[in-house]
Structure 1
Amino acid sequence: MERLRITLRRKKEDPLDYVKDLAEALIEGRVIREDVLFRDAVNEIYTTLRDVLFKEKRSGENIIRAYELAVILRYLVQGGVKTSREILEELVQTLE
């Protein structure tokens, strides 16, 4: 839990370092082992990258790619795994 607190403090310094540290902690299993907390951490990664990209208006190929990956990760973690065809069909229905 202490590592999580240290990681969370870094958000104020540099959000991209914060996201990187949080993702590495998740990969290594150092911080979060419960499913609900894992989903919250993934959502935190998504939200932070979205804020960097759209609120802070920082851009760059690496930030855009990281945000795209966070969107996909968030979708997968929420249990919405579908085929590409199902996603396209849902997209069409959403736009009607």
Structure 2
Amino acid sequence: MTDETVRLTARITGVVQGVGFRYWTARKADELDLKGTVRNSTDGSVELVAEGEVGNVSDFTDWLHSSRVPGQVADVEFQVSEATGAFDDFRIID
């Protein structure tokens, strides 16, 4: 494991609005010491940006692909890039 930090940018589709998805995503991000945001999109998807240690971001993407997330995730499109340090915490954006 490394202490290198990375940024995860993801778009999650399926039944992910109105099911507590953002709340549980924020809780999982806090558990993994990730910083960033999660928000609903007008097209019914959820968008998130999370920064943290490589191993924690990997655990987060594993969780997003698992059956443990609320709702019914159809797809997780994501990319990993260099972290910017733009966030102080993890927030739900309304």
Specify if TM > 0.5.
no
Structure with max Cα Rg: 1
Query: Would you tell me which structure has more helix in proportion to its own residues?
Result: 1
Structure of higher RCO (CA pairs closer than 8 Å, 6+ residues apart)? 2
Taking structure 1 as the reference length, the TM-score comes to: 0.31
Higher strand fraction: Structure 1 or Structure 2?
Answer: 2
TM-score (norm 2): 0.31
